[in-house]
Amino acid sequence: MHNNKFVKNFLILTPLVVLPVLLSAGSLSSVISMLFSNQYEVLAQEGDVSADGGDQVIQQGIATSSPDPLPGHEAHQSITILRLRDDNAVYSGRITFTTTQPVEVQILHRDTTGAIAGPSGTVPNIPEKFGKLAMIELPGGNGHVTITNVVPKFTEGATGSTFAASVPFSGNAVALHNLEGKAFAATYTATTDVLGPAVRADDISTSTELPSDVDGN
């Protein structure tokens, strides 16, 4: 009789005792999940630079060169330091480096809006009287780039076989570049602000008349 009563009370009281524990465990699990979820969201937001920019990149490395990835430049050697971004943001900073061959600092300026594209969607033909710019159409419809190659004033290294310089830059990508196709190694530090995409301000004349400073007038 007493055993039956004990069993009956056990069956009635056990769910009432266990249920709060299960609820507490479930709530705790939810809280932990929420905290970790929020933490990951914050980290993702901090690591994701918006089109408005406002972030910094501090990057150091030792790297060896490979064929330049730009179309038509495969005979050159380069080390890409800062890559083109999907949001087309502009980098503005400085790179300090030592290389085993003389190099240029190659800065790319990218247009994805089609503002510099001609009617056929190709790079426009700037009249010859203005000279020539290096303008390259990127594969896959990813816009066009123009190139600034900055030739640094090198400080020769202690061994006489390395070349050191520090160069400021502003553009959509940065690389170290050897035009003669000589393989090289580099050690570098790059510090840069990541800005928003640039506002296009193209003004390409199609006039056939010579500028006044060319024809002497």
Q: Flag the least confident range among 61-75, 143-157, 159-173.
A: 143-157
pLDDT of 20 above 90: no
Q: Which residues span the domain enclosing 24? A: 1-48
| Average per-residue pLDDT for the chain | 75
Residues 40 and 75 in one domain: no
| Contact between 138 and 144 (Cβ < 8 Å) | yes
187 backbone dihedrals φ, ψ, rounded to 5°: -120, 140
pTM of the model: 0.68
Q: Total structural domains in the chain?
A: 2
pLDDT at 32: 27
* Residue 136: band (very low, low, confident or very high) from pLDDT cuts 50, 70, 90: confident
pLDDT at 60: 97
Q: For residue range 72-100, list pLDDT tens digits in order.
A: 889 999 999 999 999 999 999 999 999 99
In a domain, 65, yes or no: yes
Q: Flag the least confident range among 10-19, 30-39, 123-132, 196-205.
A: 30-39
Q: For residue range 91-134, list pLDDT tens digits in order.
A: 999 999 999 999 999 999 998 876 665 555 556 667 888 888 88
Residues 131 and 84 in one domain: yes
Residues 147 and 180 in one domain: yes
Residues 114 and 70 in one domain: yes
pLDDT at 1: 53
* Residue 195: band (very low, low, confident or very high) from pLDDT cuts 50, 70, 90: very high
Residues 71 and 32 in one domain: no
Task: Classify strands 66-67 and 163-171 as parallel, antiparallel or unpaired.
Answer: unpaired
173 has which bridge partners?
Answer: 108
pLDDT of 207 above 60: yes
In a domain, 214, yes or no: no
In a domain, 41, yes or no: yes
Q: What is the 3-state secondary structure (H, E, C) of 8-48?
A: HHHHHHHHHHHHHHHHHHHHHHHHHHHHHHHHHHHHHHHHC
Comparing C-alpha atoms, which of 104, 108, 71 is closest to residue 178?
104
pLDDT at 188: 98
pLDDT at 152: 94
CA–CA separation, 74 vs 41, rounded Å?
Answer: 41
Residues 28 and 60 in one domain: no
Q: What is the 3-state secondary structure (H, E, C) of the chain?
A: CHHHHHHHHHHHHHHHHHHHHHHHHHHHHHHHHHHHHHHHHHHHHHHCCCCCEEEEEEEEEEEECEECCCCCCCCCEEEEEECCCCCCEEEEEEEEEEECCCCEEEEEEEECCCCCCCCCCCCCCCCHHHCCCCEEECHHHCCEEEEEEECCCCEECCCCCCEEEEEEEEECEEEEEECCCCCCEEEEEEEEEEEEECCCCCCCCCCCCCCHHHHCC
Q: For residue range 26-66, list pLDDT tens digits in order.
A: 443 333 233 233 322 222 223 334 444 569 999 999 999 99
| Contact between 195 and 91 (Cβ < 8 Å) | yes
CA–CA separation, 184 vs 63, rounded Å?
Answer: 9
pLDDT at 5: 52
